[in-house]
Amino acid sequence: MPTCRPSEKLNIVLTGFMGTGKTAVAGELSRLLGREALDADTEIERTAAMPIKEIFRLHGEPYFRDLEAQVIKRLSRRRGVIISTGGGAVLRRDNMEALKAHGVVVCLRASPEVILQRTQGTDERPLLQVEDPLKRIKELLQAREPYYQEADLMIDTDGKTPLQVAQEILEQICRR
């Protein structure tokens, strides 16, 4: 159990690129703190009644981002929950403002090579369905880096278990 517990009203928001461990770390934080973990991508799929890859295929990324913004606005109204967002949620200022209003935003990071290793073997990542996914990862990371820098905390996940990352997040939050 953590030696320090964040305020019961404070949301812990996990953001970062795909494959950085947001969902797994959210599960560990939920277990450690006894709080509900909410996954924005799961809520988007529930709202749209279809998988994200189908939303992209049928409606395109702009439609997906609009739906994502609606879900984030709804989730961020909750208190004392763990929220994991999709990797591109940071691209809209409104999303970050909503998430920061009642939470601490933690950006999880990983090297492009680790991200590729963690995301290979699935067709569930529409933005990586390209000839050279490592090149695409590097391009997207570079484009999103200024947005990720808006997070309250940055935590590297390379070579760490989700539990280790969750414990590090709690230590960092308690030092603030």
What is the per-residue pLDDT across 76-120, written as a single tens digit (0 to 9) for each? 999 999 999 988 899 999 999 999 999 999 999 999 999 988 887
For 40, other C-beta atoms within 10 Å of its C-beta total 24
pLDDT for the residue 131: 72
The domain made up of 11-175 has a fold known as Rossmann fold (3.40.50)
Closest by Cα among 40, 120, 43 to 87:
40
Task: For the chain, give the number of residues.
Answer: 176
Task: Say whether 37 sits in a helix, a strand or coil.
Answer: strand
Query: What's this model's pTM, rounded to 2 decimal places?
Result: 0.90
Give the CA count within 13 Å in the CB-facing half-sphere of 37: 20
- 1 or 105, greater pLDDT: 105
Closest by Cα among 18, 34, 17, 20 to 170:
34
CA distance 161 to 140: 24
Region of 120 on the Ramachandran plot (φ > 0 left; ψ -120 to 50 alpha; else beta): beta
> Which token pair is 120?
């290979």
pLDDT for the residue 15: 96
pLDDT tens for residues 138-156?
Answer: 998 999 999 999 999 999 9
